[in-house]
Amino acid sequence: MSTPQIVLRLTLAVLVLVGGIVAAVVAIEVVRTVLS
């Protein structure tokens, strides 16, 4: 696998990881509001 391919795959993966973290933060905020 060439370096650009590795960079592209890693970039995509980091982006969707950030997306997952955003989703988790949204859920935590909703639950926190419900519990408060």
CB of 1 to another protein, least distance (A): 9
Query: Which residue type sits at 29?
Result: E
Only one residue has tokens 């905020």, namely 29
Nearer to another protein among residue 2 and residue 35 (C-beta): 35
Both ends of the chain: CA-CA distance in Å? 50
Nearer to another protein among residue 2 and residue 13 (C-beta): 13
4 part of the interface to another protein, by CB under 8 A = no
Please give the residue ranges that form the binding site for another protein (CB under 8 A): 6, 9-10, 12-24, 26-27, 30-31, 34-35
